Chains A and B, each alone.
With several copies, the nearest count.
Chain A
Amino acid sequence: MSKVIKVERLKDIFKDQIRIMIGGFLDCGTAETILDYLNTLDLKNLTVIVNDAGYNYKSKGKFLAQADIDKIITSHIGTNPDVGNKMTSNQIDIELIPQGTLAEQIRSKGAGLGGVLTPTGIGTRAAEGKKIIEVEGEKYILATPIGADIAVIKAWRSDQSGNLIYRYAAKNFNPIMAMAADTVIAEVEEVLDNGKIDNNNIMTSNIFVDYIVKSK
């Protein structure tokens, strides 16, 4: 059985009011074919979890700037002035989280943990409204799991069964998001037959992946 689908099939998978995770660090490791397709749909009231807001003129950043999004959970929006403006004019709710904490929160969801204790952000606004737990005299912020309905991730190679290998610095948030969503859609540059992928170097197992879309 192959998990490869045409990008147009995603019309039936994405719904209004869902939570979407999008992998990538700026442009790198972002599922551009899928994002370009999402930019043609008319989804409403979304929540998006993403490392950064990207650039407003393409794929991820365009989606964040233009789609009907209620809330973005992210570590950085400085590269996308359109998102900044939407925040300033209260059209969108932005929850800013330190990048390492965001990574752990996503991982916690996939790992079945109730959260992790991080020293990052103690004494700053990142600690506001958070539970503080002391261990051996040190204060930590309890960072609780963040999951999503759908994760849109990008890998380099897959086999038909959905095993993934990433390339260079395009890993970033993709492997952890692959574990943290109910439905995981991976865009890949190359789909190999089962048995043709280097199985010692698979980073995301096929058990996590629901659909594969080939990059255009």
Chain B
Amino acid sequence: MSDIKNKIAKRIAEEIADGDVVNLGIGIPTLVCDFIPEDVEVNIHSENGLVGLDREAKEGFEDKDIINASGRYATIKNTGSFFDSAMSFNIIRGGHLDMTVLGGLQVDEKGNIANWMIPNKLVPGMGGAMDLTVGAKKVICAIIHQTKKGKSKIKSECNLPLTAKGEVDLIVTELAVMEVKKEGLFLTEIAKETTLEEVIKKTEAKLIVSDNLKRF
């Protein structure tokens, strides 16, 4: 399982350009950090009110007033800064983030994403996810291709309550990289460990296979 998650995170890391301001959600997105090359400087925004987020704090070096959005003690780069929640979401909603990476329960070929509730079962709330998907210039959904029961999470249409409508730009799973375009979902890359047939079979959404299909 952690291999799968790392594969997704590693591929997403390639999307980050030097100098980008990026917000990484909880779960797989957090792992993206570990795969960013040393020569790529990324400015990580955390919606609880900081930019320039660095690694988690070492034991014994925790500062009660520096946490990340998961509530874990963190550190900040020497060029980092802090702000209140209104400013934090001005940054998010105002288009000042180059990218956000979010997990998902479902995502679909229209770029819809559902990741904040399962009616009558799990209702944690949307937190900052709705703002992040609407506001960031590029929205990447980091998602495991299928549910534990073998159902595709890459749907023709999400049936869980949406986090955002038509905002996802790129979907990365352990099997495939898919771009959301007006014409539909473009399959641009498949994993080295899979076949085109397997990807199509495991994907509910209709895929438009790129002429230049790559491996990752």
> Which residues of A approach B to under 8 Å, CB–CB?
1, 25-29, 51-52, 74-79, 84, 87, 94, 96, 98-101, 103-104, 107, 109-113, 118-126, 156, 159, 161, 163, 166-176, 179, 194-195, 199-200, 202-203, 205-208
Chain B residue with the shortest CB-CB distance to A95: B125
Residues of B within 8 A of A79 (CB): 71, 124
Chain B residue with the shortest CB-CB distance to A55: B71
Residues of A within 8 A of B123 (CB): 77, 84, 87, 94, 96
Question: Which 9 A-B pairs give the minimum distances between C-beta atoms?
Answer: A78-B124, A100-B89, A123-B165, A112-B93, A195-B78, A100-B131, A112-B94, A76-B125, A111-B90
Q: Does B50 contact A (CB under 8 A)?
A: yes
- Choose from A76, A111, A195 the contact partner of B94 (Cβ within 8 Å): A111
- Choose from B21, B41, B50, B130 the contact partner of A169 (Cβ within 8 Å): B50
Residues of A within 8 A of B128 (CB): 75, 98-100
Residues of A within 8 A of B129 (CB): 98
CB atoms of B82 and A25 under 8 A apart: no
* Apart from A77-B124, A107-B86, A172-B88, 11 more pairs, CB < 8 Å: A77-B125, A78-B124, A87-B123, A100-B130, A110-B90, A171-B85, A175-B84, A179-B96, A203-B84, A205-B83, A207-B96
CB proximity to A under 8 Å, residues B91-105:
91-96
Q: Does B79 contact A (CB under 8 A)?
A: yes
> Which residues of B approach A to under 8 Å, CB–CB?
19, 21, 41, 43, 45-52, 63-67, 69, 71, 76, 78-86, 88-96, 123-131, 134-135, 161-166
- Choose from B52, B80, B84 the contact partner of A171 (Cβ within 8 Å): B84
| Distance in angstroms between the alpha carbons of A113 and B164 in the assembled complex | 16
Residues of A within 8 A of B71 (CB): 25-28, 79
CB atoms of B65 and A120 under 8 A apart: no
Known interface pairs A100-B128, A126-B130. Does A27 touch B67 (Cβ–Cβ under 8 Å)? yes
Residues of A within 8 A of B94 (CB): 109-112, 179
Known interface pairs A27-B71, A126-B126, A168-B63. Does A99 touch B89 (Cβ–Cβ under 8 Å)? yes
CB atoms of B81 and A113 under 8 A apart: no
18 A-B residue pairs with Cβ-Cβ distance under 8 Å, sorted by A, are A26-B67, A52-B125, A77-B125, A78-B125, A79-B71, A94-B123, A99-B126, A99-B127, A111-B90, A120-B130, A168-B76, A169-B67, A172-B84, A172-B85, A173-B84, A173-B85, A195-B79, A199-B80
CB atoms of A194 and B125 under 8 A apart: no
| Distance in angstroms between the alpha carbons of A123 and B86 in the assembled complex | 23
| Distance in angstroms between the alpha carbons of A206 and B82 in the assembled complex | 11
CB atoms of B65 and A98 under 8 A apart: no
CB atoms of B79 and A96 under 8 A apart: no
CB atoms of A167 and B65 under 8 A apart: yes
Chain B residue with the shortest CB-CB distance to A74: B125
| Distance in angstroms between the alpha carbons of A76 and B123 in the assembled complex | 9
| Distance in angstroms between the alpha carbons of A175 and B79 in the assembled complex | 18
Nearest CB of A to B18, in Å = 9
Residues of A within 8 A of B69 (CB): 25
Chain A residue with the shortest CB-CB distance to B114: A124
Nearest CB of B to A195, in Å = 4
Residues of B within 8 A of A25 (CB): 48-49, 67, 69, 71, 85
Residues of B within 8 A of A156 (CB): 65
Residues of A within 8 A of B93 (CB): 100, 111-113, 118-120
Residues of A within 8 A of B163 (CB): 124
Known interface pairs A77-B123, A123-B162. Does A98 touch B82 (Cβ–Cβ under 8 Å)? no
